[in-house]
Amino acid sequence: MRSRLTLLVLATTSLVMIAFLVPLALFVRQVAQDRATVRATADLQGLVTLVGTGDEQQIGFGVEQLAAKSGRPVTVFLGDGSVLGTASSRTPAVELAARGASLTAAAPGGREIVVAVQGRREGTAVIRTFVPASETGRGVTRSWLVLAGLGVLLVLLGLVVADRLARSLIRPITALSEVSHRLAGAELTARAEPDGPPELREVAGALNHLAGRIQELLKQEREQVADLSHRLRTPLTALRLEAEALGNPRLTAAADSLERAVSGVIRQARRRSDAAPANCDAAAVIADRVAFWAVLAEDTGRELAATLQPGPLPVALPAEDLAAAVDALLGNVFAHTPDGTPFAVRLAPSEDGALLVVADRGPGLPAGLERRGASGGDSTGLGLDIARRAALASGGHLSIYAGPDGGAVIEMRLGGS
């Protein structure tokens, strides 16, 4: 935008300068020609009286003096055919002046000035001089250079003003763009400083109002999620008490896990959006969740091959989010494969964090199930999306593809802290 404004001003200023300076340059040249012509005519007028009343000797002496003084050729054509002064032929202008008409005519290399003098016995005399182009154009080149320099100076001044104007417009626009990118990156505390023209200040105010409104809506949504999750506390407490009364440790562990998940949802919902990202040890979290699901795998006759890298293995993700993602991936294995289907879990370090791989030998998963709400069965279709969002939040990604021996392979890359 800055370069376009500068080019626009350059083009406009150049056109204005051309429209102004070209006629002015032509006028300067015409003035110089007229000045030289008037000066030469005035010199000839000084000889009119002498030519009209003097004899040939006096006229010849006066003509020589004027030619030496002016530096121009001066010739007097008398009515009897005599020629005094600088030798010259009788041009058409001289012939016309001999009829009583004084005039100025263009001639090769300059201008010819003839003055008719009447009153002599032998007839009308004609005084002629020639003004060369070097005299008619004297000072024109210097004037043109001055005008050209003035035009260049004005164009440069216009460019400087245009550049400052463009900077005053671009600076607030760039600031608005930076704030919008920060808001897009979930930095909801970013605000634009109203600056620049009134229109840009109005846009900055509208952007700030939008950011504040987004913050309010997200806060309301988080509070609603927290309230809904908190309502589950009472039935969960009752379920846990019932599990303890039955004396089933696995049922009690499941109730404890569900209660931890609900507590994690509450804490995540009320977490400030501008808070520093939490980290966790992926090795410890994943080992805990694999141990939990290993009990269910044993009950359903599934062979579990777990290859877990010992910790610490820090990743840029809260422990609750990572546990929920692992539960979603392992839960899909149990939900979408028949009992007795073997599966494997592998955790290994990567260049930028950790790599979690969950593979099974079931029927496989259709492509596109990582989209939110997509499901190949009777589930809600949110499990893989939870894992995908967790991977993205840590700076990684989620991949799904078919295994070499059939089944599905899910790779969850986690960014390091």
Neighbouring-strand partners of residue 398: 412
Confidence of residue 372 (pLDDT cuts 50, 70, 90): very low
Confidence of residue 365 (pLDDT cuts 50, 70, 90): low
Give pLDDT, residue 413: 93
Give pLDDT, residue 116: 93
Q: Would you give the end-to-end CA distance of the chain in angstroms?
A: 40
Give the separation between CA 280 and CA 111, rounded to whole angstroms.
99
Q: Which of the two residues, 119 and 414, has the higher pLDDT score? A: 414
Give pLDDT, residue 215: 85
Residue 27: both structure tokens together: 């006028």
Give pLDDT, residue 278: 74
Give pLDDT, residue 414: 92
Q: Read off the pLDDT of each residue in 311-338 and give the average, rounded to a whole number.
A: 87
Q: Which of 75-84, 116-125, 321-330, 359-368 has the weakest average pLDDT?
A: 359-368
Q: Read off the pLDDT of each residue in 80-94 and give the average, rounded to a whole number.
A: 89
Query: How do residues 20-32 score in pLDDT, each as one tens digit?
Result: 888 999 999 889 8
Give pLDDT, residue 305: 92
| pLDDT score of 373 more than 60 | no
| pLDDT score of 377 more than 50 | no
Query: How do residues 213-251 score in pLDDT, each as one tens digit?
Result: 888 888 877 777 666 665 665 576 677 667 777 777 777
Single-letter amino acid, residue 210:
L
Give the separation between CA 176 and CA 205, rounded to whole angstroms.
10
Confidence of residue 140 (pLDDT cuts 50, 70, 90): confident
Q: Which of 77-86, 92-101, 222-231, 311-320 has the weakest average pLDDT?
A: 222-231
Assign 3-class secondary structure to the chain.
CHHHHHHHHHHHHHHHHHHHHHHHHHHHHHHHHHHHHHHHHHHHHHHHHHHHHCCHHHHHHHHHHHHHHHCCCEEEECCCCCEEECCCCCCHHHHHHCCCCCEEEEECCEEEEEEEECCCCCCCEEEEEEEEHHHHCCCHHHHHHHHHHHHHHHHHHHHHHHHHHHHHHHHHHHHHHHHHHHHHCCCCCCCCCCCCCHHHHHHHHHHHHHHHHHHHHHHHHHHHHHHHHHHCHHHHHHHHHHHHHHCCHHHHHHHHHHHHHHHHHHHHHCCCCCCCCCCEEHHHHHHHHHHHHHHHHHHCCCCEEEEECCCCCEECCCHHHHHHHHHHHHHHHHHHCCCCCCEEEEEEEECCEEEEEEEECCCCCCCCCCCCCCCCCCCCCCHHHHHHHHHHHCCCEEEEEECCCCCEEEEEEEECC
Query: How do residues 252-304 score in pLDDT, each as one tens digit?
Result: 777 777 767 766 666 666 555 445 557 889 999 999 999 988 888 888 889 99
Confidence of residue 359 (pLDDT cuts 50, 70, 90): very high
